[in-house]
A = this chain, B = another copy of it.
Amino acid sequence: MIPLAQDVLKGNTRAIARAITQIENDHPDRETLVDDLYSYGGHAVVLGLTGPPGSGKSTLLNLMIRRERALGKKVAVIAVDPSSPFSGGAILGDRLRMQRHSTDEGVFIRSMASRGHLGGVAGATGDVIKVLDAAGFDVIIIETIGVGQTEIDIVEMADVVLLVLVPGLGDEIQALKAGVMEIGDIFIINKSDREDAAKVKAEVEYVLHLKMSAEDTSTNPIVMTSALEESGLDELHTTIQTYYQNLKSDGRLEEKRKKRIAREMKLILLAKVRDRVNRQMKLDQHIDEWVEAAYQKQVKPYAFINEKLSDFFAGGV
């Protein structure tokens, strides 16, 4: 076992931070590190927290951390912002949050804004979960900014996905929700102090009802919270616990985790094949001349690529 992996297992905060940086930067030790730690994981509850901008995820997150700490649980948070080329925002958010929990050894908060390389940001998130899990955190929360496809890919690494919705973000936000409704396990209607919160709840119930009749009979709980009034947090905590226990006892947790492993395997496999193709085809070296030929309409795009590929698989190029 490499020394860094040993230090991670001891729960050393600086080692954990360094391990995550190695994953983000595709350090040569990344694979060994993750492989070394792999067999020590599997104990943490992994929560995904997502929802449209403006839904108050960060405030909610802080209250959730406080609650877990009061119960003596160690909590790690990864805030993933894949769409931001400026990492400044995420890092600033980190600092603000860190101030509150910075003296607490049982809380680890980190943002990832990099797109990563091997398996992209979802692949990196998967590896970071393995590190934090092996480091002994009881609860790992993956928070995403926004609700696009990339964010869905990330949040699906979790055991339980918490989808935060909020009143009054307009009709198009409601339409946007349709896409992410599919991935929510527990629905949080935040800012429940607002008068139209009940309407949002009714809408969610309606959509869930449609979804249920089509697919299965498992229930998706809805919890009303108000970060402002600090209400609903007890209920949220109990709901997550009950949901997780049910997942565990009826075999769905195992099923979910196997799905996650399958996704990760495919992600990494594909990334490695892509690297190999790039290298062996000398893609970076040839791409300009290929593009020029296509731009000048000297070649037809698919016929051209098919020819290059058959050369590649014939061992040539």
Contacts of A283 in B (CB 8 A): 266, 269
Q: Which of A125-183 contact B (CB under 8 A)?
A: 145-152, 169-173, 175-176, 178-180, 182
- Known A83-B179, A254-B295, A262-B290; further 13 A-B contacts with Cβ < 8 A: A35-B300, A53-B176, A83-B180, A84-B178, A85-B179, A89-B178, A148-B150, A261-B291, A265-B291, A265-B305, A266-B287, A270-B274, A273-B309
Interchain residue pairs A-B with the least CB separation, the first 8: A148-B148, A53-B172, A35-B300, A31-B302, A83-B179, A54-B170, A84-B179, A149-B150
Q: Is A297 an interface residue (CB 8 A)?
A: yes
- Residue in B86, B268, B294 whose beta carbon sits within 8 Å of that of A301 in the complex: B268
Q: Could you give, for residues 269-310 of chain A, a 1 whenever the CB lies within 8 Å of some chain B CB and a 0 otherwise?
A: 110111011000001000100111011010011110110110
**Copies per complex of this chain:** 2
Q: Is A199 an interface residue (CB 8 A)?
A: no
Nearest B residue to A309 via CB reads B272
Contacts of A287 in B (CB 8 A): 262, 265-266
Check B294–A261 contact: CB distance below 8 A.
yes
Most buried by B among A149, A180, A300, A309: A149
| CA of A302 to CA of B268, assembled, Å | 8
| CA of A269 to CA of B317, assembled, Å | 14
Check A301–B258 contact: CB distance below 8 A.
no
| CA of A257 to CA of B172, assembled, Å | 32
Check A172–B54 contact: CB distance below 8 A.
yes
Check B38–A297 contact: CB distance below 8 A.
yes
10 contacts between A and B (CB under 8 A): A38-B300, A38-B301, A82-B149, A147-B148, A261-B294, A262-B287, A269-B277, A270-B274, A273-B274, A273-B277
Q: Could you give, for residues 68-112 of chain A, a 1 whenever the CB lies within 8 Å of some chain B CB and a 0 otherwise?
A: 000000000000011111100100000000000000000000000
